[in-house]
Chain A
Amino acid sequence: MTDLTDLGIREIRDGVREGTFSAREVATAFNAAVAGAKPLNAFLVETPDHALAAADAADAARAAGETLKPLAGVPIGMKDLFCTKGVASTAASHILEGFTPQYESTVSQNLWDAGAGMLGKLNMDQFAMGSSNETSAFGNVISPWRRNDGGNAALAPGGSSGGSSAAVAARLCPGATGTDTGGSIRQPAAFTGISGIKPTYGRCSRWGTIAFASSLDQAGPMARDVRDCAIMLEAMSGFDAKDATSLDLPVPRWEQGLNASLAGKRVGIPREYRVDNMPEEIEALWQQGIAWVKDAGAEIVEVSLPHTKYALPAYYIIAPAEASSNLARYDGVRYGQRNLPDGANLQAMYAATRAAGFGEEVKRRILIGTYVLSAGFYDAYFTQASKVRTLIARDFEHAWDKCDVLLTPTAPSAAFALGEKSADPLAMYLNDVFTVPSSLAGLPAMSVPGGLDRAGLPLGLQVIGKALDEQGVLNAALAIEERAGFVARPQAWW
């Protein structure tokens, strides 16, 4: 029998339905893989019993002749940003150590309702702030990938959903949830040779997901291929009356709608995404991607998104501003860590608790956010950034007059080594240059593996679509996937 952990979501779902193997066998195999991959530090909490219980329910349903649920028998990994009832949820921060939610996030509940089981809670950048997983309070995740230079440099799995990307790439789970605020699904997917989609803002409920920046945060799936992403996204999405920004629309049947032919479609190539100092290999992959979509029948059109260069600075005002407010609730009163120095009053307790509980990057962003909202600076920073955001969204609107989707690289580099960028926050921020504009505009965007660089590390291509057109994004990504024939995988060293 093949190793069950080599299977993706669709193969597991179909195999369980057909009785090729039992859901319990699948869960057991993945539980063992998780337990055997401690050096990756991808999981903060392992929940083998949760996975087994869901598997047994699937097997029992099949035995009873019932119609199986969409994800019956599929065990997944859950980013630790999602609150899970009775299972510690920390957002990889000390300040939430010891916090056990009494509730289940809507996205995770939707997955359980679809029959999925949970293998564990995945490590991440603290409060989803980071692009390398180095801001986790519980040690960084190490990418399962290594350069082919014979060195053993530990590489970043990307971030913030780095536990998710590492776990899927290392075959510890067939799929995992991620969240994307400025690229946190797409960049780690690109770094680890997997697929990941951020849907339109409002497709996935934010209820019960620990907030980073409310106007940008979107959950999405990370999985081995485009089809698996479509299957998982269908289960995660849906209207939620508990989230005022949730879209009250039916969930499209994305898997059923998959179609790799791009005949009649126009693929836009934004000229402003050609940035200075972009590695040749990234440029070459982009050209390759253009050739692939052309081969799939698409017409290529050059488009302009003139405000692209202002997206990152606008993002680094808006996201920290929202975060500075969203994270005010971590005060040591109702949950999480409390730090009460001798004789401290209430305000001193807050300051001590937050100083001890938040990591450096989180503090940095809270300070920036506090500063840009403070008296006298609000209009110059926040209001201006919100206006630029309007212009960025307008750029995309104009592009849609000329094309159906956009094709760009996902990140300006392959995975970098851990420690390489952590000393320079700004250099780290610049890694999100291609992913942030679509986040600001709330658009669906996906990363799909395109190939390897000279060092043998994966590179990703990004497809950006119109609001609500996840199908168009998935289809273009599928066309690329079929032509890229990406089969590389990390060799197990852990």
Chain B
Amino acid sequence: MADATAPYRIKGATGDWEVVIGLEVHAQVTSNAKLFSGAATAFGAEPNSQVSLIDAAMPGMLPVPNRECIRQAVRTGMAIDAEINRWSRFDRKNYFYADLPQGYQISQLYHPLVGEGSIEIEDGEAVKTIGVERIHVEQDAGKLMHDQHPTRSYVDLNRSGVALMEIVSRPDMRSPSEAGAYLRKLRAILRYVGSCDGNMEEGSMRADVNVSVRKPGDELGTRTETKNVNSVRFVMAAIEHEANRQVELLESGGTIVQETRLFNADTGTTRSMRSKEDAHDYRYFPDPDLLPLELDDAFLEECRASLPELPDAKRKRYEAAGVTPYNAGVLTAEVETARWFDALLEAGAAPVAASNWVTGELFGALNRVGKDITDSPVTPGQAAELLALVADGTLSGSLAKQVFEVMLETGDAPGKIVEERGLKQTSDTGAIEAVIAEVLAKNPAQLEQYRGGKVALFGFFVGQTMKAMGGKANPGVVNELLKKALG
């Protein structure tokens, strides 16, 4: 921990309070078909059009697990250095709700697929390891719509049975910003692995937020669970609100009830979800329709072998090549950026120059035209060519900017642009000497001042020479010849 970072505290009337946070993230597993049926998982389909007899829990229907969903969960576990359980099994979580056709959710309570792992996060300067208790695989529920009819709710089962990973952290986070960093890092890992698209707007990632407060050094307080929060910003807001609510309640003599709460994004507040007339008793037991899931060596080896280089490793590699830690962080935060940058390196670009160019020129340009790196008008190959032209002196920095602008507009290769538009920089000493002579002749006053000791005017002569040459002169050569001419 950097000393500069003061720990996050809620300032209460009775003193400082520490916030303890754990997150249960539900991440939709990327797969074509559902966890236990062959129905499609695509987002946004017509209601009940992606529902099989199994997902609708017709009498006599049985689940058969989708290998890809298991594989993705295992790969995710491997990506956070977690213990992979070769023997796991599915349990039924029993409760009645209109979005749950079976009357139970097939999940994993007693023997999850993935055990203890961890994720390293950076919160400002501070680096911290957050424990992950487990990852298990389970079915998503359907969707209820309450605003279509005055007295009825509508049930759409398209999501019913879609595979989710529930990634349960240890209560290791101590501030909203740590929780935000954890979520962003987890999302990045999932997207690198390809096990979840991380699309929070479409509900591919939701978090249940467990919050409690205590005086530093005290035992853990009673926690509340705020369900289904669907953005990093909202998670941070929910924690902030919930922690302050708890502190106020405790300081005014109240007690915290262990309960489920809902986050209201409009007001940034949480509220109690239901008073429990029926304290939840899920009656978990092993699903008798499914045998224990046993993974063999070949399966595990394939999972491991198919893992890509992960953000932390990639970042270390970039830094080792001389890229600044800041740039390395920026380049690895999103898998698409890292992929693009790797392609650029593969096309021969030098890491340091390439990292500066991507984080500066390219990001600026994409920002201007409102595009993502995935639909960048310039390919990594073209960018590598441009950087090569700078490196070999063909283009000056400013010429390179001009060429890049044309590339963005036309999509043409830099070599072609340089050729067609005559943007090549010149190192022709004869031509440059002639121009320098002209410049000195035109500016006798400045020449006198320079020779009288005002050496700062050197830059003026460089500028004039470059201008006279339309920016195409090699700045190094200009410097050298000017020094000679000015004596």
Contacts and interface: CB of A to CB of B under 8 A. Distances in A.
Do A and B touch each other in the complex, judged by CB within 8 A? yes
Interface of A: 82-83, 89, 91, 96, 99, 101-103, 105, 206-211, 213-215, 241-245, 321-322, 324-325, 327-329, 331, 333-335, 346-347, 350, 370, 373-375, 378, 382
Given A244-B65, A331-B96, A83 B60 contact: yes
B53 A374 contact: no
B98 interface: yes
Contacts of B291: 244-245
16 contacts: A82-B60, A83-B60, A103-B53, A210-B59, A210-B60, A214-B288, A244-B63, A245-B291, A327-B103, A328-B96, A328-B103, A331-B96, A331-B103, A334-B56, A350-B96, A370-B283
A346 B285 contact: no
Nearest to B103: A328
Contacts of B65: 244
Nearest to A213: B288
Contact of B59 (A101, A322, A375, A382): A101
Contacts of B61: 207-208
B273 interface: no
A101 B62 contact: no
Contacts of A324: 94, 283
B58 A382 contact: no
A82 B284 CA distance: 28
Contact of A211 (B56, B60, B104, B290): B60
Interface of B: 53, 56-65, 92, 94, 96-98, 101-104, 153, 155, 281, 283-285, 288-291
Contacts of A214: 288-289
A83 B285 contact: no
A228 to B, nearest CB: 26
Contact of A335 (B58, B92, B104, B285): B58
A382 B92 CA distance: 14
Contact of B283 (A83, A211, A333, A373): A373
A346 B288 contact: no
A333 B290 contact: no
Given A211-B60, A243-B64, A322-B288, 14 more contacts: A83-B58, A105-B60, A208-B60, A210-B60, A211-B289, A214-B289, A325-B94, A328-B104, A331-B96, A331-B103, A334-B57, A347-B96, A373-B285, A375-B283
Contacts of B92: 325
Which 3 residue pairs spanning A and B have beta carbons closest together? A328-B103, A214-B288, A373-B283
B62 A206 contact: yes
Contacts of B153: 346
Nearest to B94: A325
Nearest to A327: B103
A329 B103 contact: yes
Contact of B64 (A101, A105, A241): A241
A373 B287 CA distance: 13
Contacts of B58: 83, 101-103, 334-335
A411 B259 CA distance: 52
Given A207-B60, A245-B291, A333 B285 contact: no
Contacts of A333: 98, 101, 155
B95 to A, nearest CB: 9
Nearest to A343: B151
Contacts of B284: 373, 378
Nearest to A346: B98
Contact of B57 (A213, A241, A321, A329): A329
Nearest to A208: B60
A335 B56 CA distance: 10
Nearest to A374: B281
A244 B60 contact: no
Contacts of A334: 56-58, 101
A244 B286 CA distance: 14
Given A325-B104, A328-B102, A373 B94 contact: yes
A353 B18 CA distance: 49
Contacts of B64: 241-244
A105 B61 CA distance: 9
Contacts of B98: 333, 346
A244 B94 contact: no
Contacts of A350: 96
A72 B363 CA distance: 73
B103 A325 contact: yes
A327 B92 CA distance: 13
Contacts of A346: 97-98, 153
B104 to A, nearest CB: 5
Given A245-B289, A245-B291, A370-B283, A207 B94 contact: no
Given A325-B283, A328-B96, A328-B103, A89 B59 contact: yes
Nearest to A82: B60
Contacts of B57: 329, 334
B154 to A, nearest CB: 11
A382 B94 CA distance: 15
Contacts of A321: 285
A208 B58 CA distance: 9
Q: Which of B59, B65, B291 lies at the interface centre, i.e. has the most chain A CB atoms within 10 A of its CB?
A: B59
A158 B135 CA distance: 48
Given A244-B291, A374-B283, A328 B60 contact: no
Contact of B53 (A82, A102, A213, A378): A102
A350 B96 CA distance: 8
A364 to B, nearest CB: 17
Nearest to B36: A244
A213 B289 CA distance: 9
A210 B57 CA distance: 11
Contacts of B102: 328-329
Nearest to A334: B56
A329 B98 CA distance: 10
B317 to A, nearest CB: 43
A168 to B, nearest CB: 23
B94 A243 contact: no
Q: Which of A91, A96, A333 lies at the interface centre, i.e. has the most chain B CB atoms within 10 A of its CB?
A: A333
Nearest to B56: A334
B103 A99 contact: no
A489 B256 CA distance: 73
A328 B61 CA distance: 13
Contacts of A101: 58-59
A244 B53 contact: no
B273 to A, nearest CB: 15
Contacts of B59: 83, 89, 91, 96, 99, 101, 210-211, 329, 335
Nearest to A371: B283
A210 B61 CA distance: 8
A208 B63 CA distance: 12
A215 B292 CA distance: 13
B283 A244 contact: no
A333 B94 CA distance: 17
A60 B261 CA distance: 68
A260 to B, nearest CB: 36
A322 B288 CA distance: 7
A373 B103 CA distance: 15
Nearest to B38: A242
Contacts of B62: 206-207, 242-244
Q: Which of B57, B60, B64, B155 lies at the interface centre, i.e. has the most chain A CB atoms within 10 A of its CB?
A: B60
A329 B63 CA distance: 14
A487 B153 CA distance: 61
A378 B285 contact: yes
Contacts of A325: 92, 94, 103-104, 283, 285
